[in-house]
Amino acid sequence: MKGTFTRSYRSQNGNTVFVYGISGSEEELAQYKTIQGENHRVDDETGAPLWFTTRFAGDSAKMIITQNGNVIADMAEFDKAKSLVEQYGGNLGDALAQSVVGKLLGGQSVASPAPEAQAEEAPAESAEKPLDEV
C-alpha cells in the first residue's frame, strides 16, 4: 500500500495531524478497512481511504501492516539516514543530512547555494595568463 500526503490540520490538543490518502490493491484496501474498523474514513472528494498520524512520513510513504494488525508508515529509510548522520556528524553528517533529506522528500534539493556560487567563480579565477605575464 502507498500513502500520499494530502493535507494537515491542528487537532483540538494543538498537535499537527498529517492526513494521507491510501492506495493499493483491492485486497489491501479491504484489509485496511477491516483493520481501521469504526475509525475508517474516506476522502469526500476522491473516496480514497485516509490515514491519520502526528508524524510526517514524507510526501509519499510505503504503508505496511504489522504483525499486530496495525497500519504504519515504513520509516526504515528515515531511520537509516538518521543513523548515518549521527554516526559521522560534523561537516560530513551535515552533507549526508542534506543529501538524504532531499531524496526522502521526493528528490527535492535542499543543498545550500554556496557551493554552486563557488563553482561559478572558479573558472574566472583559474583563467590562464599569457606566457609573457607569468
pLDDT tens-digit profile of 73-130? 998 888 887 887 788 878 887 887 787 777 776 665 544 444 444 444 444 444 444 4
- CA atoms of 7 and 56, how far apart (whole Å): 11
What is the model's pTM? 0.70
Round to whole Å and give the CA distance between 6 and 59: 8
Q: Residue 125 is placed in which grid cell?
A: 579565477
| Residue 33: pLDDT over 90 | yes
Q: What is the pLDDT of residues 46-66, one digit of tens each?
A: 999 999 999 999 899 999 999
- Contact call for residues 96 and 85 (beta carbons, < 8 A): yes
Average pLDDT for residues 5-30, to the nearest whole number?
97
Q: Domain boundaries in the chain? A: 2-74, 77-127
Higher pLDDT, 78 or 25: 25
